[in-house]
């Protein structure tokens, strides 16, 4: 089958743009046509910025003609609808922001745009990034390109589905408790959650500020390294972004992982793990052995408490962050309100969906004066224990290998009425956010019924190079990332 433009990775398209085999306008048109043809089935886009995209592409083509190019010049990308984009509606998947047009853009997008990237549009997500299935979006669910009866994962479901459906060359998502890695795993793409502080969150709508991070979703590991390199680094507008040099992530992809010490935490290889996931992990371990890695059995003893800890801290922070949606300055304002308090109550009641309301209630409860010590403070203490689990483990190993999710993608509707089951699907991704370190999800196999299964590599803080190098070596030795969902 001949390669279509929409099938290309960033580095492949970059080469074709450089050699003038295709122009950015052609590439952008190809992606827009692909979105038009496939999105009625997938639902990954909330907004398509067609005119803007073509205008950006023309500018990029002029830069290419002048020889002023970088890796991202003329590359068509799309963003989760949590990233503010100046002049382009940004909803965060919520009715309360259905009419919100931001006056400025997120730093991460500014950086990509500054390198000549083209914006195709804004992607579907769980409302305020709360969810694991993309079903809490007020725009309806996005669907898994491998089986449209299944969820694409969440909350960056549209970001993963758009990559898997080849509607965008790459996308950005956010990860508070797994929202980049879990959808990447379910859709068969690469997704990286950088270390807390590695990437600016300025202009990214806040969910849980001590956990949120921005990261790429891509076709392969090289693209992931390219995007991370472009968005990482200190931003004076985000005091939590760390002022440390950004390594050349692409140069780290040497293919050599001989002697790399990989930890296998016993708490992550439990009974009840889906048999297809189990088999995929066993094969991945074998592949790494052949590549010369050494395996070490390790323990992360507080893993069992991670989900409960996360759902106290994340909801507490969310209840505070979401207080700003009051109908006063922006977003939905109830048209039939009687006075200020009634206006705020009605605006919030009408604007927020069920899952968001549930989280605000849990978080407010956990922070209330009588329960603060019992819930919020306790959760913070357990978070410290979980962090120490990782610090100790990384004294022995360079990276930690685990599944991304306990099962492949589930059916739309299967868990939506059972929040606890939904929350448990993040059991392997949440500890990384609580510990503040980095992790990558990459394609590692398929279930018997044809759904992608991902592998997670967790790295030491600010050591994204090592997990990228290990992921790249695996990718070189396998061809899972080359499989394409038929649409
Ligand atoms: N599924 C988790 C939640 O609902 C994680 C979401 C995220 O990472 N944004 O909170």
The 10s digit of each residue's pLDDT in 69-97 is: 899 999 999 999 999 999 999 999 999 99
Does ligand 1 come within 6 angstroms of the Cβ of 173? no
Q: How far is the CA of 310 from the centre of ligand 1 (A)?
A: 9
Catalytic site residue from 23, 24, 44, 80? 80
Share above pLDDT 70 across residues of the chain, in percent, rounded to a whole number: 100
Given a cut of 70, whether residue 2 has pLDDT beyond it is no
Mean pLDDT, the chain, integer: 97
pLDDT surpassing 80 at residue 155: yes
Q: Would you give the end-to-end CA distance of the chain in angstroms?
A: 15
The answer to whether 458 and 438 have CB atoms below 8 angstroms apart is yes
As given in the structure block, the two tokens for residue 59 are 């500018």
- Collect all residues with Cβ–Cβ distance below 8 Å to 75 and sequence separation of at least 6: 10, 13, 14, 17, 24, 27, 116, 117, 118, 169, 170
pTM of the model: 0.98
Cα–chain center distance at 455: 15
Domain extent listing, the chain: 5-262+397-482
Token look-up 């992607």 returns: 123
Task: pLDDT band for 204, please (50, 70, 90 cuts).
Answer: very high
Does residue 213 line the site of ligand 1, with CB under 6 A? no
User: Per-residue confidence at 364, pLDDT binned at 50, 70, 90?
Assistant: very high
For 308-322, the pLDDT digits (tens) are 999 999 999 999 999
160 pLDDT above the threshold of 90 = yes
Tracing tokens 């990459």 back to the chain, one arrives at 442
CA of 26 to the centre of ligand 1 (A): 36
For residues 398 and 260, is the Cβ–Cβ distance under 8 A? yes
Q: Which tens digit of pLDDT belongs to each residue from 100-109?
A: 999 999 999 9
Phi first, then psi, for residue 430 (nearest 5°) are -60, -40
Residue percentage of the chain with pLDDT more than 90: 97
Question: Is 111 an active-site residue?
Answer: no
- What mean pLDDT do residues 12-23 have? 97
In this model, does residue 1 exceed pLDDT 60? no
Residue listed under structure tokens 């069920």: 354
What is the Cα–Cα distance from 139 to 484, expressed in whole angstroms? Answer: 26
Cis ω on the peptide bond leading into residue 441 (within 30° of 0)? no
Which pLDDT score, from 0 to 100, does residue 272 have? 80
Average pLDDT over residues 319-334: 96
Atom of ligand 1 nearest to the CA of 178: 8
Give the closest residue to 187 by CA, choosing from 470, 481, 483, 452. 452
Task: Return the SS3 of 30.
Answer: helix
Q: Which of 94, 126, 405, 427 to mutate to test the pocket of ligand 1 (most atoms within 8 A of CB)?
A: 126
Counting ligand 1 atoms within 8 A of each CB, the residue from 155, 208, 441 with the most, and so the one to mutate, is 155
pLDDT confidence of residue 420: 86
For the cut 70, the answer to whether the pLDDT of residue 211 exceeds it is yes
For residue 255, give both structure tokens: 């293919």
pLDDT of residue 270: 84
189, 10 Cβ separation under 8 angstroms: no
Residue 131 CA to ligand 1 centre (angstroms): 5
Q: Is the shortest distance between the CB of 178 and ligand 1 below 6 Å?
A: yes
**DSSP three-state, residue 342:** helix
- The angle subtended at Cα 485 by Cα 479 and Cα 487, nearest 5°, is 155
> Using N-to-C axis directions, what is the helix angle for 10-18 and 24-42, rounded to 10°?
150
Is 80 among the catalytic positions? yes
Residue spans of beta strands (DSSP E) within 137-222: 170-175, 190-193, 213-218
> Which one of the listed residues 105, 159, 179, 319 is annotated catalytic?
179
Is 159 one of the annotated active-site residues of the chain? no
Mean pLDDT, range 127-146, rounded to an integer? 98
Regarding the beta carbon of 177 and ligand 1, being less than 6 Å apart is answered yes
Structure token pair of residue 373: 């010590």
Architecture of 5-262+397-482 per CATH? Answer: Alpha-Beta Complex (3.90)
> Hey, which of 157, 177, 434 would you mutate to test ligand 1's pocket, going by the most ligand atoms within 8 Å of its Cβ?
177
Question: What is the number of the ligand 1 atom nearest to the C-alpha of 130?
Answer: 4
169-199 pLDDT, tens digit per residue, is 999 999 999 999 999 999 999 999 999 999 9
Atom in ligand 1 nearest the alpha carbon of residue 180: 8
pLDDT band of residue 424 (cuts 50, 70, 90) is confident
Kindly report, residue by residue over 443-464, the tens digit of the pLDDT.
999 999 999 999 999 999 999 9
């Amino acid at each position: 089958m001949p390669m279509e433009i929409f099938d290309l990775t960033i580095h492949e398209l970059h080469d074709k743009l450089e050699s003038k085999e295709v122009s950015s306008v052609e590439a952008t048109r190809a992606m827009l046509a692909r979105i038009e043809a496939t999105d009625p089935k997938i639902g990954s886009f909330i907004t398509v910025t067609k005119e803007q995209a073509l205008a950006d592409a023309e500018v990029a083509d002029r830069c290419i003609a002048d020889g002023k190019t970088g890796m991202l010049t003329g590359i068509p990308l799309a963003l989760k609808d949590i990233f503010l984009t100046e002049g382009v509606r940004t909803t965060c998947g919520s009715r309360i922001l259905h009419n919100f047009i931001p006056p400025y853009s997120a730093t991460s997008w500014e950086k990509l745009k500054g390198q000549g990237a083209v914006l195709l549009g804004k992607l579907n997500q769980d409302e305020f990034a709360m969810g694991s299935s993309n079903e809490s979006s007020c725009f309806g669910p996005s669907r898994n390109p491998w089986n449209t009866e299944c969820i694409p994962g969440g909350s960056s479901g549209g970001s993963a589905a758009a990559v898997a459906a080849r509607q965008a060359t790459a996308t950005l998502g956010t990860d508070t408790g797994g929202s980049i890695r879990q959808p990447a795993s379910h859709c068969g793409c690469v997704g990286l959650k950088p270390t807390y502080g590695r990437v600016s969150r300025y202009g990214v709508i806040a969910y849980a500020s001590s956990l949120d991070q921005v990261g790429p979703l891509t076709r392969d590991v090289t693209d992931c390294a390219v995007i991370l390199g472009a968005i990482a680094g200190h931003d004076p507008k985000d005091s939590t972004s760390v002022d440390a040099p950004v390594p050349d992530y692409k140069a780290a992809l040497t293919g050599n992982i001989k002697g790399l010490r990989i930890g296998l935490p016993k708490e992550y290889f439990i009974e009840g793990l889906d048999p297809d996931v189990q088999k995929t992990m066993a094969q991945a371990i074998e592949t790494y052995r052949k590549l010369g890695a050494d395996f070490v059995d390790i323990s992360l003893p507080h893993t069992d408490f991670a989900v409960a800890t996360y759902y106290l801290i994340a909801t507490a922070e969310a209840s505070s962050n979401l207080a700003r949606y009051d109908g006063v300055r922006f977003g939905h304002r109830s048209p039939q309100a009687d006075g200020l308090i009634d206006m705020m109550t009605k605006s919030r009641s009408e604007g927020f969906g069920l899952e968001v309301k549930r989280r605000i209630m849990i978080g407010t409860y956990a922070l209330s004066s009588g329960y603060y010590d019992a819930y919020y403070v306790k959760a913070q203490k357990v978070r410290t224990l979980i962090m120490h689990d990782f610090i100790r483990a990384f004294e022995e190993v360079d990276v930690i290998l685990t599944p991304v999710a306990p099962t492949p993608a589930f059916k739309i509707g299967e868990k939506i009425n059972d929040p606890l089951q939904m929350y448990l699907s993040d059991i392997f991704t949440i500890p990384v956010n609580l510990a503040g370190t980095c992790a990558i999800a990459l394609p590692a196999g398929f279930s018997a019924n044809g759904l992608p299964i991902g592998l997670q590599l967790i790295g030491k803080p600010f050591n994204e190079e090592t997990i990228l190098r290990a992921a790249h070596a695996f990718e070189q030795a396998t061809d899972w990332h080359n499989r394409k969902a038929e649409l």
